[in-house]
Amino acid sequence: MVKKKQCIYCKHSYVANSSGTTTSLTRHLKDCTYFQKAQDDEFLSGMSVPMYEKFEKYWGEVSVLMSIASILDPRFKLKSVTWTFERLYPMEECSSRVEEVKSQLKSIFEKYFNLFKDVTSSSTPPQSLDEPNPQGDDFMAYLNSIPLETGQKTELEVYLEEPIHRSKELKFDVLMWWRQHSSKFPVLSKLAKDIFGIPITTVASESAFSAGGRILDDYRSSLSKDMVELLVCGSDWLKSISKTTIKTLAQSAKDEENLDIDVLIPDKSSH
């Protein structure tokens, strides 16, 4: 079912993405005449323009990484990227954007291949000298001396041409899948492990830098690095404690305080 939302400027309906992203809204606002008129307002434009620029910045940086990660999921591969882009961008842009992602992935794979090109040969144990070679040493030496054909498919091409992995598991472990297929895709499996290890958001790191900026100001610039680390970590730990835990600690402290008072000032009625 196609979901539609209403623009607060022109009151017209536009198709909303089922993925929850705001790209469809951004595309609608480019053609919305009422929104363009609102840009003439200094107050509104002062808020909307920086928000739009920040959105474009982060989406431009994250979209390729998310697409590559989706391709390296054997359940989706290029199917998910094509399906998603058709709902995010105009149809005339989909093919070029998919090719851009494939080009980026191919470029990364080539760098990994040049870095780990000896993995394939080293992963195959050498034949023992005591074992006879049924085909003859001279013939095998001849085969090894023949350069690889230029038309030979890479691991990435083989992976993309294979059908998608249909899994019925509710919690599919993609890293385990790559570990099980590392002998077939020795280089691509290393690439997948590194891609899936990248945090999908920069909020945590940027929040840490913001916290550091609030601690080290013009009046507290002489703090040692150990003290700054203690302040940042302590603040983060305190914020992570739930309200229930804080109430429990407060109640425990209050009970201990009352207990101390009862010990110091015994009840006169007991005498």
Tens of pLDDT along 176-220?
A: 999 999 999 999 999 999 999 887 666 666 666 666 666 777 776
Question: Given a cut of 50, is residue 142 above it in pLDDT?
Answer: yes
- Counting the structural domains of the chain, the total is 2
What is the average pLDDT across 130-141? 57
55 pLDDT tier (thresholds 50, 70, 90): confident
The answer to whether residues 106 and 216 belong to one domain is: no
Contact indicator for 35, 47 with CB cutoff of 8 Å = no
pLDDT at 76: 93
How many Cβ atoms from other residues are within 10 Å of residue 28's Cβ? 20
> Domain limits at 245?
203-270
Say yes or no: 218 and 194 in one domain.
no
| Residue 59 clears pLDDT 80, i.e. is over it | no
Kindly state the helix (H) or strand (E) to which residue 227 belongs, with its residue range.
helix 225-240
Where residue 69 falls (left for φ over 0; alpha for ψ -120 to 50; beta otherwise) is alpha
13 φ, ψ (degrees, to nearest 5): -90, 145
Instruction: Please tell me the distance from the alpha carbon of residue 107 to that of residue 191, in angstroms, as a whole number.
Output: 12
Q: Can you give the C-alpha Rg of the chain in angstroms?
A: 30
Task: Please list the residues that pair with 13 across neighbouring strands.
Answer: 6
**Amino acid, res. 49:** V
As a whole number of angstroms, the distance between CA 232 and CA 226 comes to 10
The single-letter code of the amino acid at 20 is: G
Name the residue with tokens 């022109």: 10
* Three-class secondary structure of residue 14 per DSSP: strand
Q: Give 230-269 pLDDT, tens digit per residue.
A: 887 887 777 776 666 777 777 777 777 666 555 545 555 5
Residue 143 lies in a domain: no
Tell the burial category of 156 from Cβ atoms under 10 Å away from its Cβ (0-12, 13-18, 19+): buried
Which range has the worst mean pLDDT, 150-159, 167-176, 262-271? 262-271
Q: What pLDDT sits at residue 151?
A: 64
Check whether residue 86 and residue 168 sit in a common domain. yes
175, 99: one domain = yes
Amino acid at 127: Q
Do 208 and 96 reside in the same domain of the chain? no
Asked if residue 266 and residue 176 are part of one domain, the reply reads no
Asked if residue 161 has pLDDT above 90, the reply is: yes
Q: Are residues 104 and 158 in the same domain?
A: yes
Do 155 and 188 meet the contact criterion of CB atoms below 8 Å apart? yes
Residue of 144 and 234 predicted with greater confidence: 234
